[in-house]
């Protein structure tokens, strides 16, 4: 199984969690890493390149920090430009059909804040529904997200452990059957 991880962090060098995840991902030869902010500092996305990368992989992961209840702007732009009509959706848009899609998301706040009655009022499952709707539209199989809550208070040991759990999560074949 070939896995494509699309990393969308606007400041990966200063990130603790996403940078640690990235370092762990690089240890695995069957994972292709596509760092959007590194690849497109001018935000001019090479649509053909991105579509080809997606076509060449069995599982696609969108990795990002949770910003204003969504993804960082370059991932949104990527979705808008790469997932084109008659390529990703529409009567002829079947290039991603049957592929797996996983979200890998980090949040600053603790898990308890993402639930009914919590500070954010909604669960992560509810807040990530637009990504699931996108998955439905493009014909991918939306698999359980990998979510790391509490980056503001996490200690190094937790972060390092999360990187290994994350990689196991996205490489697992049978856990989602």
Domain segments of the chain: what residues?
A: 3-171
DSSP line for 130-161: HHHHHHHHHT-EEPPPEEE--TTT--HHHHHH
pLDDT at 175: 54
Secondary structure E strands in 66-123:
100-106
Segments of the chain scoring below 50 in pLDDT? none
- pLDDT tens track for 128-146: 999 999 999 999 999 999 9
Say which CATH topology domain 3-171 has: Rossmann fold (3.40.50)
- pLDDT tens track for 5-30: 999 999 999 999 999 999 999 999 99
CB 105 within 8 A of CB 145: yes
The closest alpha carbon to 57, from 9, 6, 104, 93, belongs to 6
pLDDT at 177: 52
The closest alpha carbon to 99, from 134, 52, 141, belongs to 141
Query: Other C-beta atoms within 10 Å of 11: how many?
Result: 11
């Amino acid at each position: 199984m070939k896995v494509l991880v699309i990393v969308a962090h606007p400041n990966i060098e200063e990130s603790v969690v996403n940078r640690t995840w990235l370092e762990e991902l690089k240890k695995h030869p069957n994972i292709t890493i596509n760092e959007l902010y590194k690849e497109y500092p001018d935000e001019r996305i090479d649509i053909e390149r991105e579509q080809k990368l997606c076509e060449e992989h069995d599982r696609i992961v969108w990795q990002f920090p949770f910003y204003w209840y969504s993804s960082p702007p370059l991932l949104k732009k990527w979705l808008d430009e790469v997932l084109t009509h008659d390529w990703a959706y529409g009567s002829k848009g079947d290039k991603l059909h049957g592929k797996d899609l996983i979200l890998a998301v980090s949040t600053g706040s603790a898990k308890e804040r993402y639930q009914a009655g919590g500070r954010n009022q909604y669960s992560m499952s509810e807040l990530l529904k637009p990504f699931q709707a996108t998955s439905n539209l493009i014909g991918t199989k939306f698999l359980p997200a990998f979510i790391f809550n509490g980056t503001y208070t996490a200690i190094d040991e937790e972060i390092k452990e999360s990187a290994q759990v994350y990689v196991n999560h996205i490489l697992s074949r049978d856990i989602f059957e």
